[in-house]
Structure 1
């Protein structure tokens, strides 16, 4: 049945890499035990290891950053579990191609009685209709899906597909893992990288957890035939660091914003600066960072320091007028102000309670004494009757009731409860004073 796979451009067994293939291809592990960094899944007692030992695979989705072994693991899983293997890419595969692949897998199963594992790279790029088209084949066991994605499956895959597949999270490779990758490259070339120890550490940092990218850098360095080991500055002249992982429209974007906001809320100015720098370095629109700052200035600082909102808005305006690189000064100042300001969400909570009270009480009319009476009829109906102008009273406070009568009759609990932090300490005193005056007036 090899001709069926050939028609799809996905042979049953991967051919050995060509001599001029990228180093990452030539050093691809041939045993699952040789895959580094994912032992929590691939070890004999790991979730995937147990499947292979039992000789039966469940459909699965491998979720993790680039260069951590998703494709390699998929091939080796199928081989070691005794499954036929077919590889597709969601980037180039349409609905017609997928249906052809399903038919091929069904024909192969009929002819050989062997199960087929279909590996689909970049699975998140399939549209919802294409994802749905796989469901019957997964349901009846025509093939076992091994999907790979760099995006959170909860956001990018349909729920019906997620209910039929286990999601396994692959870890970003650690420095020790990447050191093992370098050691394999050195054994392959039978010589060490031409780097000083400090430059070797810098090389690992440049890879940012991506083994494939690291091997590409190693290949460049092995081609140099350098006479002397290179230092960090010489290394930087020869190779470039991997671009930071940041997708402005997807999960990483929201993860970074969440980390930034929570750092502000937690009064950790250093972490807040770090996450903002990560976002700015990844190409994020500065306006997105300022919007989050503005939200934190109200939601988390609030009336504990009302100047926080003013500081953020002023810094934002200065940034828009000046731009980068000087604009970083204004962004940093706004971050420092919000992160170090006293915190209170009392106003935010009060509005939530007010909204709940409004929903509960429906369309209660306001008390007539606070309604304007522009016509004689309204005056006859009692509009504005008894209203006391607060500025005419001692301390500019009349103590009148402004709730609807039905709510006021129930002696409601206060909604806004300022705390003892920052400016709200003064507000708390004022409210206590007004409350006492109001009660004495009653």
Structure 2
């Protein structure tokens, strides 16, 4: 049984694993035979950064690193730490190395919050091996950490926990009478555990926090079983892992674009919903839809750009929650439309030609006041064979879907006539 004082600690903290064997998830890093596990079991710890979303075991892993290798662990949080505190930590780590002969682990939580000066203060000690620097971060270290410091560190990326990992963690917490909820003797169905695992979004802390809330509520009511009714009443929505300024922002918008490009409206709607529910800026979504309409639907359906632009205006004027309907209509239309990237490739082809030195003078007959220009509308065909560049070059290669097929046929007739009339 756990004491009243221990009950004050959150379940997620009480249930932290005490050995590598107890650690659930991150098998790509810690399964038997993996390099990191072998290094730790040999008594060594590399200076490194543990990069991943909240609740996936970063802090727990740092503490296990110290325990497994029997090294001193000094902790500091970069959110609130000052340079003076950082220097004190480094000095303490140096003294511990002198006393024990082994370098201490300097654990900097959320290291990306350190500014350039603070990060640079760690460089000499990491370089000399006076400390083993282990930082954790939810932000991409390749963007947020100084390149000079990062070059001295190994980056280990931790992933959101799989549903089966979370199920295992939840069952363990329910059965553990010493640190978990086992003393409550609650009956819990498999469906409840599965739903809690699904709703946690890969975050073990979130899963355990929700379980603790439910168990405490059920126990306080005198009930003996935790049911789906309790879940529906107390925890109606899932934890959505999304930060508009972090990697998920780019990953999810990428998934939306690629789903529309692949003509899968259902997948596209799912990712659109993730963006909206995650709090993404509507204008950002609208910009991406307009770009997609021109880049990926293009001339196969020129109306797509009009629809994307109209939807963007309407969504901006309407705002949420109604804007979701407008964006849904646009996304379905774009996903279901025929696709062509010919306009995108055409402007890239022209740009590359110019960058390679194809800098032509404007032909005299096209200049204001120039002579020899033939006005196409004076011809019954509203087209005449004349050069619009000195050295013609093909940049646009039409596709054969949707409206562009008709464009292609019309241009082919012009190209044939031009060649024929030039020869004559």
Please report the TM-score for the alignment, with normalisation by the length of structure 2. 0.92
**How far apart are residue 18 of structure 1 and its match?**
4.0
Partner Cα distance (1:193, 1:87) in 2:
37
Q: Which residue of 1 aligns with 2:354?
A: 358
Q: Which residue of 2 aligns with 1:28?
A: 16
Q: Which residue of 2 aligns with 1:344?
A: 340
Q: Which residue of 2 aligns with 1:397?
A: 383
Q: Which residue of 2 aligns with 1:426?
A: 406
Q: Which residue of 1 aligns with 2:420?
A: 440
Matched, 1:257 2:257: no
- SS for the counterpart of 1:201 is helix
Q: Which residue of 1 aligns with 2:150?
A: 162
- SS for the counterpart of 2:108 is strand
Please report the TM-score for the alignment, with normalisation by the length of structure 1. 0.88
Q: Which stretch of structure 1 is more off in the superposition, 215-224 or 161-170?
A: 215-224
Matched, 1:197 2:197: no
Residue in structure 1 matching 2:312, options 313, 316, 322: 316
Q: Which residue of 1 aligns with 2:223?
A: 227
Q: Which residue of 1 aligns with 2:365?
A: 369
**How far apart are residue 65 of structure 1 and its match?**
1.6
**How far apart are residue 191 of structure 1 and its match?**
4.8
CA RMSD in angstroms comes to: 1.9
- SS for the counterpart of 2:119 is helix
Q: Which residue of 2 aligns with 1:107?
A: 95
Partner Cα distance (1:172, 1:51) in 2:
23
Deviation digits for residues 382-440 of structure 1 (CA, Å, limit 9, x no counterpart) = x2x2111101113111111010x3x24xxx3x110001111111111111111111111
| 307 and 192 in structure 1: CA distance in 2 versus 1, 3 angstrom threshold | farther
Partner Cα distance (2:55, 2:84) in 1:
29
Partner Cα distance (1:165, 1:141) in 2:
12
Partner Cα distance (2:353, 2:29) in 1:
51
Partner Cα distance (1:351, 1:103) in 2:
59
Deviation digits for residues 59-114 of structure 1 (CA, Å, limit 9, x no counterpart) = 11111221111111111111211221111111111222111111111122122212
Deviation digits for residues 297-329 of structure 1 (CA, Å, limit 9, x no counterpart) = 001111111000011112222223333333222
Q: Is the 8 A contact 1:193 1:218 kept in 2?
A: no
**How far apart are residue 139 of structure 1 and its match?**
0.7
The runs of 5 or more residues in structure 2 that have no matched partner are none
Q: Is the 8 A contact 1:37 1:174 kept in 2?
A: yes
Paired residues, what number? 410
- SS for the counterpart of 2:134 is strand
Partner Cα distance (1:83, 1:353) in 2:
59
Partner Cα distance (1:49, 1:422) in 2:
56
Residue in structure 1 matching 2:56, options 55, 61, 68: 68
- SS for the counterpart of 1:273 is helix
Q: Is the 8 A contact 1:269 1:339 kept in 2?
A: yes
Partner Cα distance (2:275, 2:75) in 1:
35
Partner Cα distance (1:150, 1:208) in 2:
15
- SS for the counterpart of 2:106 is strand
Matches within 5 A, 1:37-436: 37-186=25-174, 187-188=176-177, 189-223=182-216, 224-225=218-219, 226-239=222-235, 241=237, 243-361=239-357, 363-373=359-369, 383=370, 385-403=371-389, 405=390, 407-408=391-392, 412=393, 414-436=394-416
- SS for the counterpart of 1:395 is coil
**How far apart are residue 362 of structure 1 and its match?**
5.5
**How far apart are residue 173 of structure 1 and its match?**
1.5
The runs of 5 or more residues in structure 1 that have no matched partner are 1-16, 374-382
